[in-house]
Structure 1
Amino acid sequence: MTRKIQLSPSLMTMDLDQFKEQITFLNDKVNSFHIDVMDGHFVPNITLSLPGSWNRYARSPMCR
């Protein structure tokens, strides 16, 4: 039996100074991008401010 591995790297770990370059590099290598939603109830309320133009560079969908 063959399984297909799907990759969804977390954007929380990326270097926002290299945002465009990292998203462009990953586009053809991942199935989706993962964003962490923190509501302040179970974990501290920490927000990742993605550049507003993330969807200009990302061809894979976001999942959370």
Structure 2
Amino acid sequence: MSYAASAAPKKFTQKQAHYQPIPKSGQRCQTCALWQPPTDCQQVEGPVSPAGWCILYVRKS
């Protein structure tokens, strides 16, 4: 029995995260701590734009 699939963290859908492909109030994916270049996020499914934004935004320290 494989546990790899169940061990993978569940990501939010873009809809659940209120993702939008444009920045909001100067906040954008590429300045977020969850950003994984070139188009991935640790918490949101699917490709995301470097210029995008969602409610999970956390500024990189």
TM over 0.5: no
TM-score, normalised with respect to structure 1: 0.29
The structure having more radius of gyration, on CA atoms, is 1
